């Protein structure tokens, strides 16, 4: 848990979000600046910076992030496919340094990547 981290603050309920799903381990919420008709993020509630910071101690929670994606995507209307993205570090163009997986989709085929996070 990090005091100033914006996604920790969202997980603690200190900053509002449009929630998609929540349990004791993970939170999913809509991206504030969507890059697709449906664009939400799935985060572990525990503060993990990115995949460099992850190790086997995070196996269960990161498994849950992946394991929830299909169900949540379907519930958000993404029945014909979706894209997942995890950005890591500077070259990965990570903006928020709390690990998150983007889930993107919508009725139209997504362009090949220029306008995705």
Catalytic residues: 100
* Cβ-based neighbour number of residue 79 at 10 Å: 10
Tokens encoding 20? 């998609």
Residue 106's SS3 state is coil
CA dihedral sign, ordered 106, 12, 10, 67: negative
Q: Residue 2: which of Zn ion, ligand AMP, none does it interact with, CB under 5 to 8 A by kind?
A: Zn ion
Q: Residue 59: which of Zn ion, ligand AMP, none does it interact with, CB under 5 to 8 A by kind?
A: none
Nearest alpha-carbon partner for 69 in 104, 97, 36, 116? 104
Asked if 98 is part of the footprint of Zn ion (rule: CB under 5 A), the reply reads yes
Q: Residue 96: which of Zn ion, ligand AMP, none does it interact with, CB under 5 to 8 A by kind?
A: ligand AMP
Candidates 31, 38, 43, 69; binder of ligand AMP (CB under 6 A) is 31
CB of 70 to Zn ion, least distance (A): 25
What is the binding site for Zn ion (CB under 5 A)? 2, 5, 7-8, 47, 98
């Amino acid at each position: 848990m990090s005091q100033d981290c914006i996604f920790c603050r969202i997980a603690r309920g200190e900053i509002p979000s449009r929630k998609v799903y929540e349990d004791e381990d993970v939170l999913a919420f809509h991206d504030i600046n969507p890059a697709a008709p449906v664009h939400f993020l799935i985060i572990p509630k525990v503060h993990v910076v990115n995949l460099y910071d992850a190790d086997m101690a995070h196996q269960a929670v990161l498994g849950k992030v992946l394991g929830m994606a299909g169900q949540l995507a379907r519930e958000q209307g993404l029945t014909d496919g979706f894209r997942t993205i995890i950005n890591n570090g500077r070259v990965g163009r990570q903006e928020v340094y709390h690990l998150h997986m983007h889930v993107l989709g919508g009725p139209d085929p997504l362009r090949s990547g220029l306008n995705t996070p």
